[in-house]
Amino acid sequence: MAFHIRTDDAEFWVRDGRITFSPQEGAETRSAACAIAGLVDCHAHSTFDLSDRGLAPGSAAVVTANLADYFAAGVTACRDTGGVSMAAVDAHDPRLIAAGRFLAPPGRYITSWTLPTTAAELVDAVGAQVRSGATWVKIVDDWFSPENGRVEQHYEPAVLAAAVDAAHRGGARVAMHCMDTASVEAGLQCGVDSIEHGCNIQPEQIERMAAARVAWCPTVTLVSGFMLGQELPDPQYQERARRFYLEELYALLPLAAARGVTILAGSDTIPPAEFWREIANLHRYGLDAQTALASATSAARAYLGLPDIGEGSPADVVLYDADPRLDPDVLSRPALVMIAGEVLSAR
């Protein structure tokens, strides 16, 4: 079936699952205020039971169910940044750009999630994931120490640099979990591709991120709630982190955007139906509405190499009855979701 998509500022057609700007005879017209190529969640964990369906974490079934929930919410692509299994990689879905297992030392981070990986094993673990089909690698470089509660780094800079080099030589990119300034510094020194969370990041580090073309995925909805909503085992760290989310980030996010850092919207473990809140919160933290939207649309697609609305692109299209650049809450109410030219849902 062919469709004619007409919005306030765009017009295109869909045939055989692809977008075209050539008029198609007999096409069914669908009109709305705005059309996008679908939102992109740039920090997803699709091997978790994100919507509490009662599915087994790490299973192929939970990955399939999560993708269905994302599609229903108007999210037509995800970057999975670490899983409890290799199921996201094994799905071989072009809409799921997947890392393999979380890599962290034995006994560190959230142990039920990670593939325990010593410093001596890190390079080999990275190589194994890339050979298995992972196009991203997730390294967890810091977390609360089980011995003293302080946020501590996990790997020495030389080890991280070797691991990043191994990923790059295999054609993959590296996302680094960074909860404090020191791990951000380590990520910049060893050449990672994206900083995840970036708690307590400093202005000078943002300048270097811009120069090195390192992306930043702040995951502000989840992490700000974590930092502000519960007591942490490191009181000094918590004081700094709360200051960061209550004061400093309001200046740092606009600074990063102004310097040209690619800012990516990522949900972490928020249910797919709530992903739109991350875009709204990036706007609340100081990004203008267009930049906040781009963090999950045009900028995200360009960074991840995903097609946008263009001639011959897959017809993964979401329509809205109002312009989300004027009101991010609009993203919670897609008027139509189309995947590969098939209407998944419509109001």
Does one domain contain both 180 and 48?
Answer: yes
Distance CA 166, CA 330 (A): 42
> What is the model's pLDDT at position 347?
74
Kindly state the helix (H) or strand (E) to which residue 36 belongs, with its residue range: strand 34-36
Domain co-membership, 111 together with 78? yes
How far, in Å, CA of 222 to CA of 236, rounded?
A: 21
Which structure tokens are listed for 308? Answer: 């946008």
Residues 79 and 30 in one domain: no
Provide the total of helices (H) and of strands (E) in the chain, helices listed first: 12, 18
* Residues 311, 233 share a domain: no
Which regions of the chain are under pLDDT 50? none
Same domain, 91 and 236: yes
Query: Per the structure, how many domains does the chain have?
Result: 2
Output the pLDDT for position 326.
87
Residue 183 pLDDT? 97
Residue 79 tokens read as: 């970057």
Q: Distance (Å, rounded) from C-alpha 27 to C-alpha 155? A: 57
Its domain, for residue 269, covers 38-300
Domain finish residue from 269, 284, 300: 300
State pLDDT tens for residues 67-89. 999 999 999 999 999 999 999 99
153 and 47 together in one domain = yes
| 96 and 229 co-located in one domain | yes
Q: How far apart are CA 268 and CA 219, in angstroms?
A: 6
What per-residue confidence (pLDDT) applies to 153? Answer: 95
Any idea which residue has 């009101």 for tokens? 327
Q: Are residues 233 and 347 in the same domain?
A: no
- pLDDT tens digit string along 22-51? 999 999 999 999 999 999 999 999 999 999
- Return the pLDDT at 1: 84
Q: Are residues 272 and 125 in the same domain?
A: yes
Quote the longest CA-to-CA distance of the chain.
Answer: 69
Q: What is the pLDDT of residue 300?
A: 98
pLDDT at 9: 86
Does 323 share its domain with 207?
A: no
Instruction: Please tell me the pTM assigned to this model.
Output: 0.96
- Same domain assignment for residues 296 and 148: yes
CATH of the domain at 133: 3.20.20.140
Which of 300, 319, 334 is where one domain is finished?
A: 300
What integer pLDDT is reported at residue 211 of this predicted model? 97
Let me know: does 15 contact 52? Beta carbons within 8 Å. Answer: no
- Residues 225 and 244 grouped into a single domain: yes
The DSSP element (H or E) to which 175 belongs, if any, is: strand 173-178
CATH number where 322 lies: 2.30.40.10
